[in-house]
Amino acid sequence: MLHYRTLPVTAFQQNSSIVWCDETMDAAVIDPGGDLDALVAEVQHLGLQLKAIWLTHAHIDHAGGTGELAERLSLPIIGPHTGDQYWINALPQQSAMFGFPPARQFTPTRWLQDGDTVTIGRETLHVRHCPGHTPGHVVFHAPQIDRAFVGDVLFAGSIGRTDFPGGNHQQLIDSITQRLWPMGDQTVFIPGHGPESTFGRERRSNPYVGNT
């Protein structure tokens, strides 16, 4: 069975999630934006073996700790989609601009595309490309536990910003309505910031994408 635990990291309180298979105790960390010591301590506390880093997109609060963590533990970096290459290139400037510890550039071991799958232990998650907040944003869907890790695509009561370079409001709306809603109203999503919600609740009450 797939399990997860979410830790808010960095000054932006970004929801980094540790996901693991309880048969093998292999784990992946989604979006290690920073606070690496806390993330690694949690992995150890849970008795897990960290095997991979999975990225939704390359904004500093999500990807800032990636290069250092990958090097420290010799981990493969999976994702995001190639559309975020320019955000990876800009990580050093992003960290300076937002007052983060200096972030390194890195080269993903594997870029992701819509329809791909990622595996941890005996568990498989499905990848959907959801551009709009950034061009290379992906989300990880775990239908076996009705969960989706959606980064900054959708929040409880809000949606991702689209005023950064490469952002596109209509694309973001299309990503939400065409790629998230089909996962089902019952699906609980873990957003990049703030509390969890379900797609059904957002379809009913989110002012940006309600009744779509």
The 3-state DSSP composition of the chain as helix, strand, coil percent (nearest 5) reads 30, 30, 40
Closer residue to Zn ion (CB): 17 or 26: 17
Compute the least distance from the CB of residue 57 to Zn ion, in Å.
Answer: 6
Compute the least distance from the CB of residue 47 to Zn ion, in Å.
Answer: 29
Q: Nearest-CA neighbor of 80 among 42, 106, 51, 48? A: 106
Q: Which chain residues interact with Zn ion by CB under 5 A? A: 59, 61, 152, 192
Task: Say whether 173 sits in a helix, a strand or coil.
Answer: helix
Compute the least distance from the CB of residue 30 to Zn ion, in Å.
Answer: 12
Compute the least distance from the CB of residue 31 to Zn ion, in Å.
Answer: 8
The answer to whether 111 touches 81, Cβ cutoff 8 Å, is yes
Closer residue to Zn ion (CB): 24 or 162: 162
Closer residue to Zn ion (CB): 132 or 192: 192
Kindly state the tokens that stand for 85.
């290459």
Task: Say whether 9 sits in a helix, a strand or coil.
Answer: strand
Closer residue to Zn ion (CB): 123 or 152: 152
Angle 140-145-146 from CA coordinates, rounded to 5°: 65
